[in-house]
């Protein structure tokens, strides 16, 4: 049924970069046989999913939507895929994204433009726009994305689905092709909060292959699905509700806050004075790490190679042909802020701001159980609207990036509409407080 529906809507949505229905049908048949033999199967067994194309599945493409990796096949499974495969999950294909996860609209893909399932003139958000659109269009039940500065939460908001960025270190990054390693996390995109808990159960947990993985057992996240927020404190950081917020988003969020009040939550206002520096710090730190991570695409180890007169010429030709404009911009920015003479003025300063942002969150979350903010200052924009203006595109990330700087978990869920397009509400919790987030989100849903 899902394949049939996918075949009908995919020509309009264009969420997928590959189609792995043959493997999917094989796994489905194996699950069917297990069930018929009376064997127990997991909750995810046989459920159609989709995987962002920067997560490695053995033997399959992992293009990161880049010409650089167009012909690359992953030689191993990411840890999350290893875990999901053990549960007989089914992937219908790899999903479109901004090249190397750099972007907020999925328009930076080297291969195709993905369309918003709620209105096809609009972007699905990004960089996990393919995953969000696939779930939003009902082409699959759930998907994996990655979030470095909002790439799960913002497309979830734009497509009217649920997206969670877990605490840094909760989900292994092994086999996730790096963008900015100190910020990257894999997480679920789902149709509702219950599915989010189920997928999180499957992918969370310590992994010795990821040195930043947290050594800690986790509970069954489904036990957090309790419809009760009585006596809980929900913090509103006024800094997220400034002039840049659209009227429709403000109205939907105000109504959501009223709903929580009527359900017995206490609303408290908190101050986060350093938030205004967060976006600038992110756009120094993320490109700095990216410039280092992407140095590996040199035409030697793997991926594209364009022959040259000598090795330097080969590097230049390969990197010029392999990387799109946004990736090149970030490599240049990152190289600049890390270079001798500028390091102290930019990178070091941004790292100091990162500490201040972290402290703001610690202080704010001492006063409440969760923070409630918009996921983005507006709803999805038209395809092509911001492509000529990278700064306008960056400014749209203002509500999501600071969370990654602090390593905290966040969830985006739909909370209303503005002119027919979904509005996203973001809930932010303390480190490893995914259960609190799920509970507060579930109560609203």
The binding site for ligand GLN (CB under 6 A) comprises 101-104, 127, 147-151, 179, 286, 397
Q: Which of 151, 172, 213, 412 is catalytic?
A: 151
Q: How far is CA 214 from CA 10, 144, 205, in A?
A: 38, 20, 7
Alpha-carbon gap, residue 99 to 304, rounded angstroms: 15
Rounded to a whole number of angstroms, the minimum distance from the CB of residue 9 to ligand GLN is 25
Alpha-carbon gap, residue 46 to 48, rounded angstroms: 6
**CB nearer to ligand GLN: pick between 139 and 397:** 397
**CB nearer to ligand GLN: pick between 189 and 270:** 189
Alpha-carbon gap, residue 241 to 250, rounded angstroms: 7
Closest CA to 85 of 2, 175, 17: 175
Rounded to a whole number of angstroms, the minimum distance from the CB of residue 97 to ligand GLN is 8
Chain Cα centroid distance, residue 283: 17
Instruction: State both tokens at 92.
Output: 């219908």
- Does 52 qualify as catalytic in the annotation? yes
**CB nearer to ligand GLN: pick between 340 and 391:** 391
What's the DSSP call for residue 275?
G
Q: If 0-12 CB within 10 Å is exposed, 13-18 middle and 19+ buried, where does residue 81 land?
A: buried
**CB nearer to ligand GLN: pick between 92 and 376:** 376
Residue position matching structure tokens 């080297």: 110
Q: How many CB atoms lie within 10 A of CB 25?
A: 13
Q: Which residue(s) pair with 425 in the sheet?
A: 374, 413
Rounded to a whole number of angstroms, the minimum distance from the CB of residue 248 to ligand GLN is 22
Residue showing the smallest CB distance to ligand GLN in the complex: 151
Query: For residue 63, what are the contacts with CB-CB under 8 A and spacing of at least 6?
Result: 17, 53, 69, 70, 72, 94, 110, 111
Q: Which of 6, 52, 94, 430 is catalytic?
A: 52
**CB nearer to ligand GLN: pick between 102 and 157:** 102
Helix H or strand E segment including 426: strand 421-428
Instruction: State both tokens at 67.
Output: 């010409």
**CB nearer to ligand GLN: pick between 103 and 136:** 103
Query: For residue 40, what are the contacts with CB-CB under 8 A and spacing of at least 6?
Result: none
Q: How far is CA 232 from CA 8, 235, 345, in A?
A: 44, 10, 42
Rounded to a whole number of angstroms, the minimum distance from the CB of residue 112 to ligand GLN is 18
Strands (DSSP E) found in 160-221: 162-165, 185-190
Rounded to a whole number of angstroms, the minimum distance from the CB of residue 420 to ligand GLN is 24
Rounded to a whole number of angstroms, the minimum distance from the CB of residue 407 to ligand GLN is 14
Q: Which of 127, 146, 172, 412 is catalytic?
A: 127
Contact 158, 15 (CB under 8 A): no
**CB nearer to ligand GLN: pick between 151 and 426:** 151
- Does 109 qualify as catalytic in the annotation? no
Rounded to a whole number of angstroms, the minimum distance from the CB of residue 277 to ligand GLN is 17
Contact 48, 24 (CB under 8 A): yes
**CB nearer to ligand GLN: pick between 103 and 130:** 103
Closest CA to 63 of 22, 23, 112, 21: 112
- Does 320 qualify as catalytic in the annotation? no
Rounded to a whole number of angstroms, the minimum distance from the CB of residue 259 to ligand GLN is 28
Please give the positions annotated as active site.
52, 127, 151
């Amino acid at each position: 049924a899902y394949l049939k529906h996918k075949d009908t809507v995919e020509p309009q949505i264009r969420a997928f970069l590959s189609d792995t229905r043959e493997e999917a049908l094989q796994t489905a048949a194996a699950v069917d046989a297990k069930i018929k033999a009376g064997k127990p199967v997991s909750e995810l067994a046989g459920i159609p999913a989709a995987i962002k194309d920067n997560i490695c599945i053995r033997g399959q493409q992992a293009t990161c939507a880049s010409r650089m990796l167009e012909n690359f096949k992953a030689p191993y499974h990411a840890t999350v895929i290893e875990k999901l495969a053990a549960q007989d999950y089914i992937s219908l294909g790899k999903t479109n994204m901004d090249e190397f996860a750099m972007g907020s609209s999925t328009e930076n893909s080297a291969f195709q433009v993905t369309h918003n399932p709620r209105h096809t003139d609009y972007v699905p958000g990004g960089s996990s726009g393919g995953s969000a659109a696939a779930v939003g269009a009902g082409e699959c039940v759930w998907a994996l994305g990655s979030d470095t500065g909002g790439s799960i939460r913002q497309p979830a908001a734009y497509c009217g689905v649920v997206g969670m960025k877990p605490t840094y270190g909760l989900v292994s990054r092994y086999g996730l092709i790096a963008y900015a390693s100190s910020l990257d996390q894999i997480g679920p995109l789902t149709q509702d909060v219950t599915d989010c808990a189920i997928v999180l159960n499957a992918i969370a947990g310590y992994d010795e292959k990821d040195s930043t993985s947290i050594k800690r057992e986790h509970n069954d996240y489904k036990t957090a699905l309790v419809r009760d927020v009585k006596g809980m404190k929900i913090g509103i950081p006024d800094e997220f509700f400034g002039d840049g917020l659209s009227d429709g988003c403000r109205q939907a969020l105000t109504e959501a806050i009223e709903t929580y009040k009527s359900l017995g939550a206490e609303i408290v206002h908190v101050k986060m004075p350093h938030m205004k520096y967060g976006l600038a710090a992110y756009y120094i730190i993320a490109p700095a790490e990216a410039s280092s991570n992407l140095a590996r695409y040199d035409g030697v180890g793997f991926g594209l190679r364009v022959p040259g007169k000598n090795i330097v010429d080969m590097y230049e030709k390969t990197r010029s042909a392999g990387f799109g404009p946004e990736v090149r911009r970030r490599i240049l920015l990152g190289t600049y802020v890390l270079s001798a003479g500028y390091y102290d003025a930019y990178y070091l300063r941004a790292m100091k701001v990162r500490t201040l942002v972290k402290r703001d969150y610690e202080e704010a979350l001492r006063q409440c159980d969760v923070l409630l903010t918009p996921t983005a200052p507006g709803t999805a924009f038209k395809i092509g609207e911001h492509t000529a203006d990278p700064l306008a595109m960056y400014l749209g990330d203002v509500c999501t990036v600071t969370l990654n700087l602090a390593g905290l978990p966040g969830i985006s869920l739909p909370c209303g509409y503005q002119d027919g397009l979904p509005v996203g509400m973001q809930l932010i919790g303390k480190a490893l407080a995914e259960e609190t987030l799920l509970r507060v989100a579930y109560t609203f849903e």
